[in-house]
Amino acid sequence: MNNYFIILASGQSKRFNSKKQKQYNIYKNKPLFKHSIDKAVKSKLFKKIILVINNKSLIKEKFNKNILIIKGGKERSDSSLIALKYIKNFKPKNVLIHDAARPNFTIKLLKKLLNSLKHNKAVIPIINSKDTIKYKIKNHFFNLNRKNVLLTQTPQAFDFKDIYNLSIKNNKNITDEAALYIEKNLNIKFIKGENFNQKITFKEDLKNNKTFYGIGFDIHRLEKGRKLFLGGIKIPFHSGLKGHSDGDVIIHSIIDSFLGAMRKKDIGTFFPDNKNKYKNIRSTKILQPIIQILNKKNLYINNIDINLICEEPKVSKHREKIILSLSNLLNIDKELINLKGKTVEKLGLIGKEKAIACEVICSISE
């Protein structure tokens, strides 16, 4: 296992419109470059991992001794050469060179690269272009056949001696190591890359999908002769829920969980029950404005989990209908909704079938 992993994170982020260089920005809860380090460590495939950055003082973390942090050069190719020179003393056999801006590669890809390297000097992951590409020379445009357009990704894997000798002779500003082999018409083994292993280039690519959680709880008394509404539909039962509105505990709890996730107080603030406007209103009607707020803020629902707490009616009998109704009301897939029934061992008001309670937890994202 004489493998080394070089992570290039010293780019100047010219296309990245932010004060902070992109490699230090937080992506999925950690700095961008950290994803590559963590994956390389987890893979247990490498003797040393070399992180190349341009400002060591920005790294506050302490890494273990197999992770070495060095200062890069002006251009990407300078940094890559600095790293190769640096690891030369360790006498490596194989080296993978990777751009920190691609945090989403898999360990499976690392294994494939190293396996392929047993019979090749250079192994490069490629994917087909999804876009139709035009090629411009001065003021002339050329159509490229999409089938012939191949996009190279990183990590790229090399026999150390091979890439070292090529890099040391190179005086061009290249944007990946595969270019050195192509320039000299040397053999490359191309393997299938990963479509999701996209390069994070623009600030928008990093837009953190912030996720929020909210909790909701509600309880209403049961009253003989009233209609029972749960999750927006009528359920046949001898009693219904008493309340200012139709007493739909499921919808009320869902509303409170959404408001909670949006940090917007509670249902009582939005729909005061001293207002005649809301008297006997169907709860589905008061859910709509809340959905509108979610839509306006571009928030989407990841999932909701519901506990309906009652002895009767039995949730299992009505589960599918309630979930279907909620999926229509919330305009989300049924798969994102879970409904559990919970009895209370005949204890208290709920146990004596005098009330029904409900609790909901929801997750929403930007």
Helix, strand or coil, per DSSP, at residue 283: helix
- The piece of 9-17, 196-204, 248-256, 314-322 that touches Zn ion (CB under 5 A) is 248-256
User: Which segments of 273-336 are extended strands (E)?
Assistant: 300-309
Q: Which is nearer to Zn ion, 35 or 252 (CB)?
A: 252
- The piece of 249-257, 291-299, 317-325, 351-359 that touches Zn ion (CB under 5 A) is 249-257
Q: Which two tokens stand for residue 119?
A: 């019979």
Q: Which is nearer to Zn ion, 181 or 229 (CB)?
A: 229
Torsion of CA 229, 230, 231, 233, to 10 degrees: -40
Query: Closest distance between Zn ion and the C-beta of residue 241, in Å?
Result: 8
- The piece of 61-69, 250-258, 271-279, 323-331 that touches Zn ion (CB under 5 A) is 250-258
Q: Which is nearer to Zn ion, 266 or 320 (CB)?
A: 266
Query: Closest distance between Zn ion and the C-beta of residue 283, in Å?
Result: 8
- The piece of 111-119, 128-136, 229-237, 251-259 that touches Zn ion (CB under 5 A) is 251-259
Torsion of CA 229, 231, 236, 238, to 10 degrees: -50
Query: Closest distance between Zn ion and the C-beta of residue 276, in Å?
Result: 17
The per-residue b/e assignment along 32-60, b for 16 or more CB within 10 angstroms, e otherwise, is bbbbbbebbbebebbebbbbbbbeeeebe
Quote the CA–CA distance of 351 and 68 in Å, as a whole number: 63
Q: Which is nearer to Zn ion, 84 or 251 (CB)?
A: 251
Q: How many residues bind Zn ion (CB under 5 A)?
A: 2
Q: Which is nearer to Zn ion, 121 or 252 (CB)?
A: 252
Helix, strand or coil, per DSSP, at residue 128: strand
Q: Which is nearer to Zn ion, 99 or 218 (CB)?
A: 218
- Among 48, 98, 121, 252, which residue sits at the site for Zn ion (rule: CB under 5 A)? 252
- Tell me the residue number closest to Zn ion, measured at CB: 252
Q: Which is nearer to Zn ion, 48 or 252 (CB)?
A: 252
Query: Closest distance between Zn ion and the C-beta of residue 242, in Å?
Result: 10
Strands 211-224 and 355-365: antiparallel
Say which residues have a Cβ less than 8 Å from residue 105's Cβ, sequence separation at least 6: 36, 39, 98, 153, 154, 155, 194, 197
Query: Closest distance between Zn ion and the C-beta of residue 155, in Å?
Result: 55
Strands 3-8 and 48-53: parallel
Q: Classify residue 91 by burial, with Cβ atoms within 10 Å: 0-12, 13-18, 19+.
A: exposed
Binding mask 46-85 vs Zn ion (x if CB under 5 A, - otherwise)?
A: ----------------------------------------
Say which residues have a Cβ less than 8 Å from residue 305's Cβ, sequence separation at least 6: 338, 340, 360, 361, 362
Say which residues have a Cβ less than 8 Å from residue 224's Cβ, sequence separation at least 6: 238, 239
Positions 210 through 229 that interact with Zn ion (CB under 5 A) = 218
- The piece of 101-109, 125-133, 143-151, 245-253 that touches Zn ion (CB under 5 A) is 245-253
Q: Which is nearer to Zn ion, 177 or 218 (CB)?
A: 218
Per CB under 5 A, residues contacting Zn ion are 218, 252
